[in-house]
Amino acid sequence: MAKDILTIPEAASFCAVDRVTMWRWAKSGNLKISVTPGGHHRILKEDMESFLIDNGMYPLATKNYPRNRILIVDDDPMIQETFNRTLSFYKYETETAGDGFEAGIKTVQFKPDLIILDLIMPEMDGFEVCRYLKKDPTTSGVKILILTGYDTEENRKKIMEAGADDFLPKPVEVDMLIQHIEVLLGRKKGQAKKVLTQRR
């Protein structure tokens, strides 16, 4: 069974760094460290993970941090690829769908934890997709984050009435996107900034 309390060498191995680096992190005060009655230093695994995530060091925690699944639904292949690269960097497992019908199939097959759903798509728009998924008991628990280049009060109201869990206007910056995703999935805020999408 995985250990919840780590020694300095174990914490260093966990992060794929040497002991000197681990001591430097601990002495900086940013990484919580405890001292046992016998004078030994110990680090809680959850504190170690939080430290890595807060400092944008996802690659160090790759095999230790759970990979949530995100389905990207957008009819623009370039946007799909941009989100794929960005979310992969933050250690999310991704899949894409180009329209609402494919989104329904991929949701059942891929079983995502969250769906990033474009509002305006041909044939079956984001409103319809959202209502369909939220009404189905097998997919109703999936979090849905809608993106739209048409950020109006009317659309916001319709988005939430359709059952969406959150929405963001386009263009959206990486830090804002990751923050909203991590709130929905119970993870912490990321750091990077970059405009991902352009208004259509």
User: How sure is the predictor about 187, in pLDDT bands with cuts at 50, 70 and 90?
Assistant: low
Q: What average pLDDT does this structure show over 143-158?
A: 88
Q: How far apart are CA 104 and CA 148, in angstroms?
A: 19
Q: Is the peptide bond before 171 cis (omega within 30 degrees of 0)?
A: yes
Could you give the CA distance from residue 4 to residue 23 in angstroms, rounded to a whole number? 19
| Long-range contacts of residues 8-15, Cβ cutoff 8 Å, at least 24 apart | 8/41, 8/43, 11/43, 11/48, 14/45, 14/48, 14/64, 15/48, 15/52, 15/57, 15/60, 15/61
Instruction: Summarize the confidence of residues 35-55 as an average pLDDT.
Output: 81
- What is the predicted pLDDT for the residue at 109? 92
Nearest Cα to Cα of residue 116 among 82, 158, 146, 155:
146
Q: Which pLDDT score, from 0 to 100, does residue 71 have?
A: 97
Triad 11, 16, 19: Cα angle to 5°:
55
26-30, 31-35, 49-53 — most confident range: 31-35
- Compare 1 and 174 and report the one with higher pLDDT: 174
CA distance 18 to 8: 10
Is 117 a residue whose pLDDT tops 60?
yes
Kindly tell me if the per-residue pLDDT of 12 is higher than 50: yes
pLDDT of residue 64: 47
